[in-house]
Amino acid sequence: MEVAMEEANDFSRCTFSTTATMDDYFACALNNWEQSVADVGPFSSSADADDFHDLVESIMFADDVDYDPSIGHFSLPQSPSYNSNTSTCTPVAEEDEHTGTATAYNDAKGLRLVHLLEAAAEALGGVHKCPDLARVILIRLRELLGRGDEGTSIERLAGHFTDALQGLLDGGRMSLHDGARHHHYNKMEVLTAFQLLQDMSPITKFGHFTANQAILEATAGDRRIHVVDFEIAEGVQWASLIQALASRPGMSPPHLRITAMIRSGGSRSTQETGRRLAAFAASLGQPFSFSQCRIDANSERFRAAGVKVVQGEALVMNCALHPTTAAARRRTIGSVASFLSGSVDLGARVVTLVEEEDGEGEETEEEQGKGFVGRFMAELGRYSAVWDSLEAEFPTQGQARAVVERVILRPRIAGAIGHAYRAEEEEGGQVESWGEWMVAMGFGRVSISCFNHCQAKLLLGLFKGGYKVEETAMNKLVLGWKTRRLLSASVWKPPLPVHLPVMDSFEDSDFLFD
């Protein structure tokens, strides 16, 4: 809480010759919200629901943003709960009157959007579910936001989140489409946008390269390497591994075999990926073979027995849980858990894990809390950081960013929100961090080498400031934008077989430790 306060103060002290980043007023908004909530009182009793309603009304229908020339900044209308905090949060226009006023206006608007979004999430999935209120708030948001790709960054971001919430409202529960309007972009579009994202942000490459380097180190002397991949997608991760193996100085390349997991219905695209990888490997002169292993359709469990193992090969398992569009739906707890535990049966040498990270450090846990609203705000925070990072790196390529946002990030947002909503519904919770799960299951840590860390730093060095990599644990590197953690890559060693029970007959909830 204190930290958030500090951020709010910093926010007001910042120079606003450029638009404040969304993270700033997001944090400020959160703080503001907390304060106002505190003023209103705890949500537990129904009497306060009315206050909440009033509060929301005041936010929503506060149309008139007053420009006070004497102070030189916009101020939100004074509602009782906003009094103390308005001044700290409303940015003061700086030297240049024109840009100052424009940015001030934008910031105030951004703040309001965030408030509205949180209110909508609260109405939709919070303690007091009130779908009608949510509906009204969303309509209001839509009014404020105008249309699709226009508008400032935060307007676009807010738009996507609004749509995601709308989808939840419309699509009902347990929707197959992750509760959001499902835009079926054609493959070319998706691929191009994906490539754009790869180039504009180091996030994906960070995950790939760190995992690959760990694999290379773990299998340094081996002549046969076998990688079992949880979710191969397009196989992009393996391109650089193939290259690295093919060009190791002083020795002929070892044989690389990749086994990809396939789920029901995914066989064709995985085969295509295999062909592509084989062609790529051939072009580099890297001995390569590809095979597939089906995840059991009914139980969605990985079966170690399904993987063909050859004598004398070094087996590693790769579990890259990058945020992708349909991923949240596919990666049931059971499938991931059974995959990770399968590493024990297979006698894997290392298990590389890449997963999304949450939050800004310790204090966020208490602030955000679990539950749908907490998750919603966490996702809002995360994507505002992503938005910021793209904007900071490529400020002039607004349209390019808009495309990436729309084609790649928007479905992810919808997926994440839908996932959070369903998880809330199911009351089974979710595994927040697979790394922690692995610790609990007795996996050992494999330290990240100096080379790996150095490589990550150099990768980030290709971008402008703002990205950071930190070694939060001996075996884990975390990539973040400013203060917000985005993605982590960690390396693990499976425990000895004797410690783990057979995973076959377990339910999803058995994999959770709370």
Residue 280 is encoded by which pair of tokens? 């790529």
Interface pick for another protein out of 44, 70, 399, 505 (rule CB under 8 A): 399
Contact between 207 and another protein by CB under 8 A: the answer reads no
- Say if residues 75 and 68 touch (Cβ distance below 8 Å): yes
Indicate the burial class of 505 (C-beta count within 10 angstroms; 0-12, 13-18, 19 or more). exposed
Closer Cβ to another protein, 40 or 403, answer by number:
403
Contact between 252 and another protein by CB under 8 A: the answer reads no
Interface pick for another protein out of 127, 278, 402, 512 (rule CB under 8 A): 402
Cα dihedral sign, 333-334-338-341:
positive
Closer Cβ to another protein, 62 or 400, answer by number:
400
Interaction with another protein in 80-139: which residues (CB under 8 A)? none
Distance (Å, rounded) from C-alpha 206 to C-alpha 479? 8
Closer Cβ to another protein, 194 or 302, answer by number:
194
The stretch near another protein (CB under 8 A) out of 323-331, 393-401, 421-429, 498-506 is: 393-401
Q: Are strands 73-75 and 314-321 parallel, antiparallel or unpaired?
A: unpaired
Contact between 243 and another protein by CB under 8 A: the answer reads yes
Q: Which residue from 74, 38, 73, 80 is spatially nearest to 57, judged by alpha carbons?
A: 80
Interface pick for another protein out of 5, 169, 200, 512 (rule CB under 8 A): 200
Q: Which residue from 356, 382, 374, 368 is spatially nearest to 481, judged by alpha carbons?
A: 382
The stretch near another protein (CB under 8 A) out of 52-60, 91-99, 231-239, 341-349 is: 231-239
Q: Which residue from 69, 104, 100, 79 is spatially nearest to 89, judged by alpha carbons?
A: 104
Bridge partners, residue 484, by sequence: 481
- Say if residues 145 and 151 touch (Cβ distance below 8 Å): yes
Interface pick for another protein out of 130, 244, 278, 309 (rule CB under 8 A): 244
The stretch near another protein (CB under 8 A) out of 15-23, 275-283, 334-342, 494-502 is: 275-283
Contact between 187 and another protein by CB under 8 A: the answer reads yes
Closer Cβ to another protein, 206 or 302, answer by number:
206
Cβ-Cβ contacts under 8 Å for 177 (sequence gap 6 or more): 167, 171
CA angle 229, 233, 239 (to 5 degrees): 75
Interface pick for another protein out of 176, 462, 498, 502 (rule CB under 8 A): 462
Interface pick for another protein out of 39, 54, 222, 234 (rule CB under 8 A): 234
- Say if residues 76 and 64 touch (Cβ distance below 8 Å): no
Binding-site string for another protein from residue 490 to residue 509, where x marks contact by CB under 8 A and - marks none: --------------------
Grouping H, G, I as helix, E, B as strand and the rest as coil, residue 285 is coil
Kindly report the number of other CB atoms within 10 A of residue 78's CB atom: 12
Interface pick for another protein out of 45, 46, 64, 184 (rule CB under 8 A): 184
Interaction with another protein in 426-455: which residues (CB under 8 A)? 450-451, 454-455
Contact between 192 and another protein by CB under 8 A: the answer reads yes
Nearest approach, Cβ of residue 277 and another protein (Å): 8
Beta strands in 60-167 (DSSP E): 66-68, 73-75
Distance (Å, rounded) from C-alpha 488 to C-alpha 356? 6
Count of residues making up the chain = 514
Binding residues for another protein, rule: CB under 8 A, are 147-150, 181, 183-189, 191-196, 198-202, 205, 208-209, 212, 234-236, 239-240, 242-244, 246-247, 272, 276, 279-280, 283-285, 393-400, 402-403, 406, 450-451, 454-455, 458-459, 461-465
